[in-house]
Amino acid sequence: MAYPAGYKYTTDHEWIEINGDRGKVGITDYAQQQLGDVVYLELPEVGAKLTRGLAFGTIESVKAVSELYAPVGGEVVEVNAALKSKPEAVSTDPHGSWMIVVKLSNPAEAGVLLDAAQYTALVSQ
Amino acid sequence: MEQAPVASLKKTPLNARHRSSGARMVPFSGWDMPVEYSGITGEHMAVRERAGLFDVSHMGEIEIAGKDALAAVQRISCNDAAKLQVGQAHYSGLLTPQGTFVDDLLVYRLASAHFLLVVNAGNIAQDYAWIAEHITPAGDAVAVDASSRYALIAVQGPAALEILQPLTGVDLGALKYYWFAHGEVAGVLATLSRTGYTGEDGFEMFVPPQSADRVWLAILESGKAAGVTPCGLGARDTLRLEAGMRLHGSDIDETTTALEADLAWIVGWNKEDFVGASALREQKSHGVRRKIVGFEMLDKGIARHSYDTYASGVKAGHVTSGTQTPYLKKAIGMAYLPVESAGLDTEFEIDIRGRRARARVVPLPFYKRPK
Protein backbone atom coordinates (compact mmCIF):
# COMPACT_ATOMS: atom_id res chain seq x y z
CA MET A 1 0.00 0.00 0.00
CA ALA A 2 1.45 3.38 -0.99
CA TYR A 3 1.87 6.11 1.61
CA PRO A 4 -0.14 9.21 0.59
CA ALA A 5 2.15 12.01 -0.53
CA GLY A 6 0.07 14.68 1.19
CA TYR A 7 0.46 13.14 4.67
CA LYS A 8 3.25 13.56 7.21
CA TYR A 9 4.50 10.60 9.25
CA THR A 10 6.05 9.85 12.62
CA THR A 11 8.68 7.24 13.36
CA ASP A 12 6.02 5.70 15.66
CA HIS A 13 3.94 5.00 12.53
CA GLU A 14 1.16 7.59 12.83
CA TRP A 15 0.18 9.81 9.92
CA ILE A 16 -1.27 13.31 9.97
CA GLU A 17 -3.00 15.12 7.12
CA ILE A 18 -2.58 18.82 7.85
CA ASN A 19 -4.96 21.45 6.53
CA GLY A 20 -4.16 24.92 7.82
CA ASP A 21 -3.91 24.64 11.62
CA ARG A 22 -5.79 21.35 11.79
CA GLY A 23 -4.72 17.79 11.14
CA LYS A 24 -6.44 14.41 10.85
CA VAL A 25 -4.49 11.65 12.59
CA GLY A 26 -4.40 7.90 11.95
CA ILE A 27 -1.94 5.01 11.84
CA THR A 28 -0.02 3.77 8.83
CA ASP A 29 -0.45 0.63 6.82
CA TYR A 30 2.86 -0.59 8.24
CA ALA A 31 1.52 -0.12 11.79
CA GLN A 32 -1.71 -1.99 11.14
CA GLN A 33 0.24 -4.85 9.53
CA GLN A 34 2.39 -5.11 12.63
CA LEU A 35 -0.66 -5.04 14.92
CA GLY A 36 -2.82 -7.56 13.12
CA ASP A 37 -6.62 -7.36 13.13
CA VAL A 38 -7.68 -4.24 15.03
CA VAL A 39 -10.56 -4.85 17.42
CA TYR A 40 -10.67 -1.89 19.82
CA LEU A 41 -9.80 1.80 19.97
CA GLU A 42 -9.55 4.03 23.01
CA LEU A 43 -9.57 7.66 21.88
CA PRO A 44 -9.50 10.94 23.82
CA GLU A 45 -12.50 13.25 24.26
CA VAL A 46 -12.95 16.44 22.32
CA GLY A 47 -11.03 19.13 24.19
CA ALA A 48 -8.21 16.85 25.32
CA LYS A 49 -4.75 18.42 25.11
CA LEU A 50 -2.06 16.54 23.21
CA THR A 51 1.69 16.75 23.57
CA ARG A 52 3.83 15.73 20.62
CA GLY A 53 5.29 12.26 21.17
CA LEU A 54 3.04 11.35 24.11
CA ALA A 55 0.24 8.79 24.04
CA PHE A 56 -3.23 10.07 23.17
CA GLY A 57 -5.01 6.72 23.05
CA THR A 58 -4.62 3.00 22.65
CA ILE A 59 -5.30 0.58 19.85
CA GLU A 60 -5.85 -3.11 20.40
CA SER A 61 -5.56 -5.98 18.01
CA VAL A 62 -6.62 -9.51 18.81
CA LYS A 63 -3.19 -10.21 20.19
CA ALA A 64 -1.81 -6.95 21.59
CA VAL A 65 -2.27 -3.44 22.94
CA SER A 66 -0.34 -0.48 21.52
CA GLU A 67 -0.23 3.21 22.37
CA LEU A 68 -1.16 5.87 19.85
CA TYR A 69 1.33 8.76 19.91
CA ALA A 70 0.50 12.34 19.06
CA PRO A 71 2.36 13.48 15.94
CA VAL A 72 1.94 17.12 17.03
CA GLY A 73 0.83 19.00 20.12
CA GLY A 74 -2.56 20.67 20.26
CA GLU A 75 -6.18 20.17 21.17
CA VAL A 76 -8.56 17.45 20.02
CA VAL A 77 -11.41 19.15 18.14
CA GLU A 78 -13.08 16.08 16.66
CA VAL A 79 -13.14 12.33 17.33
CA ASN A 80 -14.16 9.77 14.72
CA ALA A 81 -17.03 8.14 16.61
CA ALA A 82 -17.92 5.93 13.64
CA LEU A 83 -14.44 4.41 13.75
CA LYS A 84 -14.77 3.54 17.44
CA SER A 85 -17.72 1.30 16.65
CA LYS A 86 -16.01 -0.12 13.56
CA PRO A 87 -12.33 -0.37 14.52
CA GLU A 88 -11.65 -3.10 11.95
CA ALA A 89 -11.68 -0.33 9.31
CA VAL A 90 -8.19 0.60 10.56
CA SER A 91 -6.97 -2.77 9.27
CA THR A 92 -8.67 -2.56 5.89
CA ASP A 93 -8.24 1.17 5.18
CA PRO A 94 -5.53 2.54 7.47
CA HIS A 95 -4.86 5.72 5.50
CA GLY A 96 -8.55 6.57 5.25
CA SER A 97 -9.35 5.80 8.88
CA TRP A 98 -8.69 9.03 10.74
CA MET A 99 -9.08 8.82 14.50
CA ILE A 100 -9.01 12.40 15.69
CA VAL A 101 -8.71 15.93 14.36
CA VAL A 102 -6.18 17.99 16.27
CA LYS A 103 -5.88 21.77 16.27
CA LEU A 104 -2.12 22.33 16.19
CA SER A 105 -0.81 24.54 18.98
CA ASN A 106 2.50 25.03 17.20
CA PRO A 107 2.34 24.34 13.44
CA ALA A 108 6.15 24.50 13.27
CA GLU A 109 6.23 21.09 15.01
CA ALA A 110 5.05 19.53 11.76
CA GLY A 111 8.41 20.41 10.25
CA VAL A 112 10.15 17.54 12.03
CA LEU A 113 7.76 14.91 10.68
CA LEU A 114 8.72 12.60 7.82
CA ASP A 115 7.34 13.01 4.33
CA ALA A 116 6.00 10.02 2.39
CA ALA A 117 9.34 9.25 0.72
CA GLN A 118 11.25 9.36 4.01
CA TYR A 119 8.63 7.22 5.75
CA THR A 120 8.60 4.68 2.92
CA ALA A 121 12.37 4.43 3.22
CA LEU A 122 12.06 3.95 7.01
CA VAL A 123 9.67 1.01 6.80
CA SER A 124 11.47 -0.59 3.84
CA GLN A 125 14.66 -1.09 5.82
CA MET B 1 8.59 -6.91 4.63
CA GLU B 2 11.44 -9.41 4.90
CA GLN B 3 11.84 -10.83 8.36
CA ALA B 4 15.34 -11.99 9.18
CA PRO B 5 15.39 -15.34 10.98
CA VAL B 6 16.99 -15.21 14.39
CA ALA B 7 19.91 -17.61 14.29
CA SER B 8 19.43 -19.14 17.73
CA LEU B 9 15.76 -20.05 17.25
CA LYS B 10 14.78 -23.63 16.53
CA LYS B 11 12.92 -24.37 13.32
CA THR B 12 10.21 -26.90 12.59
CA PRO B 13 10.47 -28.98 9.39
CA LEU B 14 7.88 -26.60 7.88
CA ASN B 15 9.84 -23.41 8.60
CA ALA B 16 10.83 -22.82 4.96
CA ARG B 17 7.23 -23.41 3.88
CA HIS B 18 5.94 -20.80 6.37
CA ARG B 19 8.51 -18.25 5.25
CA SER B 20 7.96 -18.79 1.55
CA SER B 21 4.18 -18.58 2.09
CA GLY B 22 4.44 -15.14 3.67
CA ALA B 23 3.48 -16.07 7.23
CA ARG B 24 4.41 -13.54 9.90
CA MET B 25 7.08 -15.24 11.99
CA VAL B 26 7.77 -14.58 15.68
CA PRO B 27 9.95 -16.15 18.34
CA PHE B 28 7.84 -18.46 20.51
CA SER B 29 9.29 -20.57 23.34
CA GLY B 30 12.64 -20.67 21.54
CA TRP B 31 11.10 -21.50 18.16
CA ASP B 32 10.73 -19.46 14.99
CA MET B 33 6.97 -19.90 14.48
CA PRO B 34 4.18 -18.43 12.33
CA VAL B 35 1.93 -16.20 14.46
CA GLU B 36 -0.41 -15.54 11.55
CA TYR B 37 -0.75 -16.29 7.88
CA SER B 38 -3.59 -14.10 6.63
CA GLY B 39 -4.83 -12.59 9.91
CA ILE B 40 -5.92 -14.00 13.25
CA THR B 41 -9.61 -13.16 12.81
CA GLY B 42 -9.93 -14.81 9.40
CA GLU B 43 -7.96 -17.86 10.49
CA HIS B 44 -10.04 -18.20 13.66
CA MET B 45 -13.29 -18.01 11.68
CA ALA B 46 -12.00 -20.51 9.11
CA VAL B 47 -11.50 -23.07 11.88
CA ARG B 48 -14.96 -22.46 13.35
CA GLU B 49 -16.70 -22.57 9.96
CA ARG B 50 -14.50 -24.70 7.66
CA ALA B 51 -11.01 -25.89 8.53
CA GLY B 52 -7.60 -24.61 9.54
CA LEU B 53 -4.17 -26.17 9.06
CA PHE B 54 -1.59 -25.78 11.83
CA ASP B 55 2.08 -26.64 12.21
CA VAL B 56 2.51 -27.63 15.84
CA SER B 57 5.78 -29.48 15.35
CA HIS B 58 7.35 -27.36 18.08
CA MET B 59 5.45 -29.46 20.63
CA GLY B 60 7.61 -32.04 22.38
CA GLU B 61 7.23 -35.81 22.29
CA ILE B 62 8.56 -37.90 25.14
CA GLU B 63 8.19 -41.67 24.98
CA ILE B 64 8.13 -43.93 28.00
CA ALA B 65 8.61 -47.66 27.45
CA GLY B 66 9.63 -50.75 29.34
CA LYS B 67 8.01 -53.50 31.40
CA ASP B 68 6.91 -51.02 34.08
CA ALA B 69 5.99 -48.17 31.71
CA LEU B 70 2.43 -47.96 33.05
CA ALA B 71 3.65 -47.64 36.63
CA ALA B 72 6.10 -44.96 35.49
CA VAL B 73 3.40 -42.93 33.72
CA GLN B 74 1.05 -43.39 36.67
CA ARG B 75 3.67 -41.90 38.96
CA ILE B 76 4.44 -38.76 36.94
CA SER B 77 1.12 -38.00 35.23
CA CYS B 78 -1.88 -37.09 37.39
CA ASN B 79 -4.61 -38.67 35.24
CA ASP B 80 -5.24 -42.41 35.49
CA ALA B 81 -3.38 -43.99 32.58
CA ALA B 82 -4.67 -47.47 33.51
CA LYS B 83 -7.98 -46.35 32.05
CA LEU B 84 -6.37 -45.80 28.65
CA GLN B 85 -6.74 -48.57 26.14
CA VAL B 86 -4.10 -49.01 23.44
CA GLY B 87 -5.06 -46.44 20.80
CA GLN B 88 -6.52 -43.98 23.28
CA ALA B 89 -5.25 -40.65 24.65
CA HIS B 90 -6.14 -38.28 27.45
CA TYR B 91 -5.31 -34.86 28.86
CA SER B 92 -3.22 -34.79 32.01
CA GLY B 93 -0.69 -32.86 34.09
CA LEU B 94 2.86 -33.28 35.31
CA LEU B 95 2.57 -31.99 38.85
CA THR B 96 4.96 -30.87 41.53
CA PRO B 97 4.68 -32.43 45.01
CA GLN B 98 2.52 -29.37 45.82
CA GLY B 99 0.01 -30.36 43.13
CA THR B 100 0.96 -27.44 40.85
CA PHE B 101 1.85 -27.70 37.18
CA VAL B 102 5.30 -28.52 35.83
CA ASP B 103 3.42 -28.81 32.52
CA ASP B 104 0.20 -30.08 30.99
CA LEU B 105 0.23 -32.76 28.33
CA LEU B 106 -1.54 -35.41 26.30
CA VAL B 107 -0.77 -39.04 27.11
CA TYR B 108 -1.12 -41.55 24.25
CA ARG B 109 -1.05 -45.29 24.93
CA LEU B 110 0.84 -46.66 21.91
CA ALA B 111 1.08 -50.19 23.31
CA SER B 112 0.31 -51.68 26.67
CA ALA B 113 3.81 -50.78 27.95
CA HIS B 114 4.64 -47.89 25.60
CA PHE B 115 3.36 -44.32 26.04
CA LEU B 116 3.81 -41.10 24.11
CA LEU B 117 3.61 -37.83 26.04
CA VAL B 118 3.03 -34.62 24.06
CA VAL B 119 4.31 -31.64 26.05
CA ASN B 120 4.66 -27.89 25.55
CA ALA B 121 7.48 -26.63 23.34
CA GLY B 122 9.07 -24.41 25.95
CA ASN B 123 9.16 -27.15 28.57
CA ILE B 124 10.63 -30.12 26.71
CA ALA B 125 14.07 -30.21 28.34
CA GLN B 126 12.72 -29.43 31.79
CA ASP B 127 9.90 -32.00 31.48
CA TYR B 128 12.27 -34.66 30.25
CA ALA B 129 14.68 -34.11 33.14
CA TRP B 130 11.80 -34.08 35.60
CA ILE B 131 10.27 -37.28 34.17
CA ALA B 132 13.59 -39.13 34.03
CA GLU B 133 14.19 -38.27 37.68
CA HIS B 134 10.73 -39.24 38.90
CA ILE B 135 10.17 -42.51 37.04
CA THR B 136 13.25 -44.22 38.51
CA PRO B 137 11.40 -45.67 41.53
CA ALA B 138 8.69 -47.07 39.27
CA GLY B 139 10.92 -49.90 38.06
CA ASP B 140 11.89 -50.97 34.56
CA ALA B 141 11.01 -48.05 32.29
CA VAL B 142 12.96 -45.52 30.26
CA ALA B 143 12.02 -42.10 28.98
CA VAL B 144 13.28 -40.88 25.61
CA ASP B 145 12.99 -37.37 24.24
CA ALA B 146 11.76 -38.24 20.75
CA SER B 147 10.78 -34.68 19.80
CA SER B 148 13.08 -34.49 16.78
CA ARG B 149 11.54 -37.65 15.32
CA TYR B 150 8.11 -36.12 14.82
CA ALA B 151 6.53 -33.31 12.92
CA LEU B 152 3.02 -32.58 14.19
CA ILE B 153 0.37 -31.18 11.86
CA ALA B 154 -3.19 -30.37 12.91
CA VAL B 155 -6.31 -30.00 10.78
CA GLN B 156 -9.12 -28.51 12.81
CA GLY B 157 -12.69 -27.55 11.97
CA PRO B 158 -16.00 -29.02 10.84
CA ALA B 159 -14.57 -29.87 7.38
CA ALA B 160 -11.42 -31.57 8.76
CA LEU B 161 -12.70 -35.09 8.21
CA GLU B 162 -13.85 -34.60 4.63
CA ILE B 163 -10.51 -32.92 3.79
CA LEU B 164 -8.32 -35.63 5.31
CA GLN B 165 -10.28 -38.75 4.45
CA PRO B 166 -9.26 -38.84 0.76
CA LEU B 167 -5.59 -38.76 1.86
CA THR B 168 -5.67 -41.80 4.15
CA GLY B 169 -6.87 -45.38 4.36
CA VAL B 170 -7.64 -44.95 8.05
CA ASP B 171 -11.41 -44.77 8.56
CA LEU B 172 -11.48 -41.37 10.23
CA GLY B 173 -15.21 -41.44 10.90
CA ALA B 174 -14.71 -44.55 13.02
CA LEU B 175 -12.04 -42.83 15.11
CA LYS B 176 -13.62 -41.57 18.33
CA TYR B 177 -12.67 -38.31 20.03
CA TYR B 178 -9.32 -38.76 21.80
CA TRP B 179 -8.50 -42.00 19.99
CA PHE B 180 -5.75 -42.49 17.41
CA ALA B 181 -4.68 -44.93 14.72
CA HIS B 182 -1.52 -45.70 12.77
CA GLY B 183 -1.66 -45.57 9.00
CA GLU B 184 -0.58 -43.25 6.26
CA VAL B 185 -1.54 -39.80 5.10
CA ALA B 186 -0.59 -38.58 1.62
CA GLY B 187 1.52 -41.71 1.26
CA VAL B 188 3.48 -40.96 4.44
CA LEU B 189 3.55 -43.12 7.57
CA ALA B 190 1.55 -41.32 10.21
CA THR B 191 -0.23 -41.58 13.52
CA LEU B 192 -3.60 -39.88 13.21
CA SER B 193 -5.24 -38.68 16.38
CA ARG B 194 -8.71 -37.18 16.80
CA THR B 195 -7.54 -34.43 19.11
CA GLY B 196 -6.89 -30.72 19.02
CA TYR B 197 -6.62 -27.42 20.84
CA THR B 198 -9.37 -25.41 19.18
CA GLY B 199 -12.70 -26.71 20.47
CA GLU B 200 -13.54 -28.08 17.03
CA ASP B 201 -13.56 -31.57 15.61
CA GLY B 202 -10.22 -32.30 14.01
CA PHE B 203 -7.11 -34.38 13.76
CA GLU B 204 -3.47 -34.17 14.71
CA MET B 205 -0.94 -36.11 12.66
CA PHE B 206 2.47 -37.25 13.77
CA VAL B 207 4.61 -37.65 10.65
CA PRO B 208 8.34 -38.03 9.93
CA PRO B 209 9.96 -34.56 9.75
CA GLN B 210 11.30 -35.11 6.23
CA SER B 211 7.75 -35.74 4.98
CA ALA B 212 6.03 -32.86 6.76
CA ASP B 213 6.06 -30.53 3.77
CA ARG B 214 4.55 -33.17 1.52
CA VAL B 215 1.69 -33.75 3.98
CA TRP B 216 1.17 -30.00 4.46
CA LEU B 217 0.84 -29.40 0.70
CA ALA B 218 -1.38 -32.45 0.20
CA ILE B 219 -3.82 -31.17 2.84
CA LEU B 220 -3.88 -27.67 1.32
CA GLU B 221 -4.63 -29.23 -2.07
CA SER B 222 -7.24 -31.67 -0.73
CA GLY B 223 -8.90 -28.90 1.27
CA LYS B 224 -8.94 -26.26 -1.42
CA ALA B 225 -12.63 -26.66 -2.24
CA ALA B 226 -13.60 -26.84 1.43
CA GLY B 227 -11.61 -23.67 2.14
CA VAL B 228 -8.83 -24.99 4.38
CA THR B 229 -6.76 -22.06 5.73
CA PRO B 230 -3.20 -22.20 7.05
CA CYS B 231 -3.20 -20.78 10.56
CA GLY B 232 -0.61 -19.45 12.99
CA LEU B 233 -0.21 -19.54 16.74
CA GLY B 234 -2.29 -16.36 17.17
CA ALA B 235 -5.50 -18.07 16.06
CA ARG B 236 -4.52 -21.20 17.96
CA ASP B 237 -4.48 -19.08 21.13
CA THR B 238 -7.82 -17.31 20.54
CA LEU B 239 -9.45 -20.62 19.55
CA ARG B 240 -8.27 -22.48 22.63
CA LEU B 241 -9.34 -19.59 24.86
CA GLU B 242 -12.88 -19.57 23.43
CA ALA B 243 -12.91 -23.33 24.04
CA GLY B 244 -11.87 -22.72 27.67
CA MET B 245 -8.66 -24.72 27.33
CA ARG B 246 -5.87 -23.80 29.74
CA LEU B 247 -2.53 -22.54 28.48
CA HIS B 248 0.50 -23.60 30.50
CA GLY B 249 2.59 -20.59 31.47
CA SER B 250 -0.51 -18.37 31.54
CA ASP B 251 -3.52 -20.11 33.10
CA ILE B 252 -1.64 -22.88 34.87
CA ASP B 253 1.91 -23.01 36.18
CA GLU B 254 3.97 -23.93 39.24
CA THR B 255 1.90 -21.57 41.42
CA THR B 256 -1.53 -23.04 40.60
CA THR B 257 -2.82 -26.47 41.58
CA ALA B 258 -4.92 -28.78 39.44
CA LEU B 259 -7.88 -28.10 41.76
CA GLU B 260 -7.51 -24.33 41.63
CA ALA B 261 -7.37 -24.65 37.83
CA ASP B 262 -10.71 -26.50 38.01
CA LEU B 263 -9.10 -29.59 36.48
CA ALA B 264 -10.15 -32.16 39.10
CA TRP B 265 -11.39 -34.28 36.19
CA ILE B 266 -7.81 -34.98 35.08
CA VAL B 267 -6.79 -36.21 38.54
CA GLY B 268 -6.82 -39.99 39.02
CA TRP B 269 -8.17 -39.87 42.57
CA ASN B 270 -8.51 -43.65 42.81
CA LYS B 271 -5.06 -44.63 41.64
CA GLU B 272 -2.09 -45.22 43.89
CA ASP B 273 0.49 -42.64 44.73
CA PHE B 274 1.60 -40.09 42.15
CA VAL B 275 3.60 -36.90 42.46
CA GLY B 276 1.29 -34.24 43.88
CA ALA B 277 -1.35 -36.70 45.12
CA SER B 278 -1.14 -36.01 48.85
CA ALA B 279 -1.17 -32.23 48.36
CA LEU B 280 -4.22 -32.48 46.10
CA ARG B 281 -6.05 -34.84 48.46
CA GLU B 282 -5.44 -32.47 51.32
CA GLN B 283 -6.58 -29.47 49.27
CA LYS B 284 -9.65 -31.40 48.18
CA SER B 285 -10.66 -32.18 51.74
CA HIS B 286 -10.15 -28.58 52.92
CA GLY B 287 -11.49 -26.94 49.78
CA VAL B 288 -9.64 -24.47 47.58
CA ARG B 289 -9.40 -20.79 48.50
CA ARG B 290 -9.30 -19.58 44.91
CA LYS B 291 -10.21 -20.99 41.56
CA ILE B 292 -10.02 -20.19 37.89
CA VAL B 293 -13.10 -18.63 36.27
CA GLY B 294 -14.17 -17.58 32.82
CA PHE B 295 -15.30 -13.99 32.52
CA GLU B 296 -16.66 -11.57 29.99
CA MET B 297 -16.28 -7.83 30.11
CA LEU B 298 -19.32 -5.73 31.00
CA ASP B 299 -17.57 -2.41 30.47
CA LYS B 300 -15.65 -1.53 27.34
CA GLY B 301 -12.09 -2.73 27.05
CA ILE B 302 -10.10 -5.91 26.67
CA ALA B 303 -8.53 -7.52 29.72
CA ARG B 304 -5.11 -9.01 29.02
CA HIS B 305 -2.78 -11.47 30.72
CA SER B 306 -1.43 -10.14 34.07
CA TYR B 307 -3.99 -7.33 34.56
CA ASP B 308 -5.05 -7.15 38.23
CA THR B 309 -8.52 -8.21 39.33
CA TYR B 310 -10.50 -6.68 42.22
CA ALA B 311 -13.35 -8.39 44.04
CA SER B 312 -15.46 -6.12 46.28
CA GLY B 313 -12.79 -3.46 45.81
CA VAL B 314 -9.97 -5.64 47.14
CA LYS B 315 -7.14 -6.94 44.93
CA ALA B 316 -8.08 -10.51 44.17
CA GLY B 317 -5.61 -11.89 41.64
CA HIS B 318 -4.89 -11.39 37.98
CA VAL B 319 -6.11 -12.18 34.52
CA THR B 320 -4.37 -15.25 33.12
CA SER B 321 -5.65 -15.04 29.54
CA GLY B 322 -7.77 -12.44 27.80
CA THR B 323 -8.66 -11.25 24.34
CA GLN B 324 -11.40 -10.01 22.08
CA THR B 325 -12.63 -13.23 20.48
CA PRO B 326 -13.23 -13.28 16.75
CA TYR B 327 -16.13 -15.77 16.78
CA LEU B 328 -18.10 -14.74 19.88
CA LYS B 329 -17.08 -11.11 19.29
CA LYS B 330 -16.76 -10.44 23.00
CA ALA B 331 -13.93 -9.52 25.30
CA ILE B 332 -13.41 -12.66 27.40
CA GLY B 333 -10.75 -14.17 29.57
CA MET B 334 -9.81 -16.35 32.50
CA ALA B 335 -8.69 -15.27 35.96
CA TYR B 336 -8.19 -16.69 39.44
CA LEU B 337 -10.66 -15.34 42.00
CA PRO B 338 -11.27 -16.12 45.69
CA VAL B 339 -13.95 -18.85 45.80
CA GLU B 340 -16.44 -16.52 47.49
CA SER B 341 -16.21 -14.24 44.43
CA ALA B 342 -16.02 -17.00 41.85
CA GLY B 343 -19.70 -17.92 41.56
CA LEU B 344 -21.44 -17.64 38.20
CA ASP B 345 -22.70 -14.12 37.41
CA THR B 346 -20.56 -12.55 40.14
CA GLU B 347 -19.30 -9.16 39.07
CA PHE B 348 -15.72 -8.07 39.70
CA GLU B 349 -13.35 -5.45 38.37
CA ILE B 350 -10.24 -5.55 36.22
CA ASP B 351 -7.65 -2.80 36.14
CA ILE B 352 -7.24 -2.03 32.44
CA ARG B 353 -4.18 0.23 32.35
CA GLY B 354 -5.36 2.35 35.27
CA ARG B 355 -9.10 2.18 34.63
CA ARG B 356 -11.39 -0.18 36.58
CA ALA B 357 -13.66 -2.06 34.18
CA ARG B 358 -16.44 -4.41 35.27
CA ALA B 359 -16.44 -8.08 34.32
CA ARG B 360 -18.81 -10.97 35.09
CA VAL B 361 -18.08 -14.62 35.85
CA VAL B 362 -19.50 -16.86 33.11
CA PRO B 363 -19.38 -20.63 32.55
CA LEU B 364 -16.40 -22.30 30.85
CA PRO B 365 -16.06 -23.07 28.01
CA PHE B 366 -17.17 -19.87 26.30
CA TYR B 367 -17.70 -21.80 23.08
CA LYS B 368 -18.96 -25.33 22.57
CA ARG B 369 -19.15 -26.73 19.08
CA PRO B 370 -22.56 -27.76 17.79
CA LYS B 371 -22.92 -31.54 17.86
Mean per-residue pLDDT over chain B, rounded? 96
Global pTM reads 0.92
Does a cis peptide bond (omega within 30 degrees of 0) precede residue B158?
no
B289-362 topology per CATH:
Elongation Factor Tu (Ef-tu); domain 3 (2.40.30)
Per-residue model confidence as pLDDT tens digits over A17-51: 999 999 999 999 999 999 999 999 999 999 999 99
- Average pLDDT, stretch B242-254? 98
Separation of alpha carbons A83 and A85, rounded Å? 5
Q: What ipTM does the predicted assembly reach?
A: 0.77
Q: What was the pLDDT predicted at B136?
A: 87
Query: B228 or B2, which is more confident?
Result: B228
Cross-chain Cβ contact B324/A36 below 8 Å: no
pLDDT tens, B162-188?
999 999 999 999 999 999 999 999 999
Predicted confidence (pLDDT) at residue B233 exceeds the cutoff of 90: yes
Provide the mean pLDDT of chain A: 95
* Best mutation target, B2, B40, B239, to test chain A (most A CBs within 10 A): B40
pLDDT band at A64 (very low <50, low <70, confident <90, very high): confident
Whether residue B234 and residue A36 make contact (CB cut-off 8 A), yes or no, is yes
The reply to whether CATH 3.30.70.1400 applies to domain B60-148 is yes
Q: Report the SS3 class of residue A59.
A: strand
For chain A, the maximum distance between any two Cα atoms, rounded to a whole number of angstroms, is: 38
- Whether residue A58 and residue B237 make contact (CB cut-off 8 A), yes or no, is no
Instruction: Tell me whether residues B36 and A58 touch, CB distance under 8 A.
Output: no
Nearest by CB to residue B40, choosing from A36, A58, A123, is: A36
Q: Which pLDDT does position B138 carry in this prediction?
A: 85
Q: Which helix (H) or strand (E) holds B308?
A: strand B308-311
Beta strands in B37-125 (DSSP E): 51-55, 60-65, 89-95, 101-111, 114-119
CB contact (8 A) between residue B302 and residue A65:
yes
Residue B26: band (very low, low, confident or very high) from pLDDT cuts 50, 70, 90: very high
The share of chain B scoring above pLDDT 90, in percent, equals 95
Residues in B closer than 8 angstroms to A13, CB to CB, are none
In chain B, which residues have their Cβ closer than 8 Å to the Cβ of A65?
302, 304, 353
Whole-angstrom distance, CA of residue B135 vs CA of residue B118: 17
Contact (CB<8Å) A62/B41: yes
**Between chains, do A37 and B40 touch, taking CB under 8 Å as contact?**
yes
Pairing of strands B228-231, B51-55: parallel
CA–CA dist B220, B247 (Å, integer) = 28
Residue of B nearest to A85 (CA): B300
Mean pLDDT of B257-267: 98
Size of interface A-B (CB pairs under 8 A): 46
Over residues B228-242, the mean pLDDT reads: 97
Which member of B36, B237, B302 has the closest CB to residue A40?
A: B302
Q: Which pLDDT does position B5 carry in this prediction?
A: 58
The continuous run of DSSP H or E covering B318 comes out as strand B314-324
Asked if A40 lies within 8 A of B323 by C-beta distance, the reply is: no
- CATH code for the structural domain at B15-56+150-242: 3.30.1360.120
CA distance A120 to A124: 6
Half-sphere exposure of B167 (CA within 13 A, CB side): 26
Q: CB within 8 A of B164, min separation 6: which ones?
A: B155, B172, B185, B192, B203, B219, B222
pLDDT at B47 over 70: yes
Distance (Å) from the alpha carbon of A5 to chain B's nearest alpha carbon: 21
Pairwise CA distance, residues B117 & B124, whole Å: 10
Mean pLDDT of A94-115: 95
Question: What's the first-to-final CA gap in chain B, in angstroms?
Answer: 42
Q: Is the CB of residue B154 less than 8 Å from the CB of residue B196?
A: yes
pLDDT tier for residue B7 given thresholds of 50, 70 and 90: low
Measure in Å the smallest separation between the Cα of A46 and chain B Cα atoms: 19
Contacts of A65 (CB under 8 A, 6+ apart): A58, A59, B302, B304, B353
B198-208 per-position pLDDT tens digit: 999 999 999 99
Contacts of B44 in chain A (CB under 8 A): 62
Domain boundaries defined on chain A: 8-109
Contact: A65, B237; criterion CB under 8 Å: no
User: Which of A36, A42, A65 is closest, CB to CB, to B39?
Assistant: A36
**A interface toward B at CB cutoff 8 Å?**
30, 33, 36-37, 39-40, 42, 58, 60-63, 65, 88, 91, 123-124
- Each domain of chain B, given as residue ranges in start order, spans 15-56+150-242, 60-148, 289-362
Residue from A13, A35, A37 whose CB has the most chain B CBs within 10 Å, to mutate: A37
Give the pLDDT confidence score for residue B2 in this predicted structure: 44
Residue of B nearest to A36 (CA): B39
Altogether, the residues listed in chain B come to a count of 371
Residues B17 and B13: their CA atoms lie apart, in Å, by 8
Determine which helix (DSSP H) or strand (DSSP E) holds B237, and give its type and residue range: helix B233-242
Round to whole Å and give the CA distance between B181 and B110: 9
SS3 assignment, position A30: helix
How close, in Å, is residue A65 to chain B by CA atoms? Answer: 9
**Element (H or E) spanning B327, and its range?**
none
Taking alpha carbons only, the member of B267, B292, B305 closest to residue B342 is B292
Given this model, what pLDDT does residue A125 score? 79
- Whether B304 has a pLDDT exceeding 50, the answer reads yes
pLDDT of residue B1: 42
- What's the CA gap between B46 and B28, in Å, rounded? 23
CATH architecture, range A8-109: Beta Barrel (2.40)
Pick the closest to residue B192 from B227, B163, B164 (CA basis): B164
Structure confidence by residue, pLDDT tens digits, B315-364: 999 999 999 999 999 999 999 999 999 999 999 999 999 999 999 999 99
Per-residue pLDDT at B3 exceeds 70: no
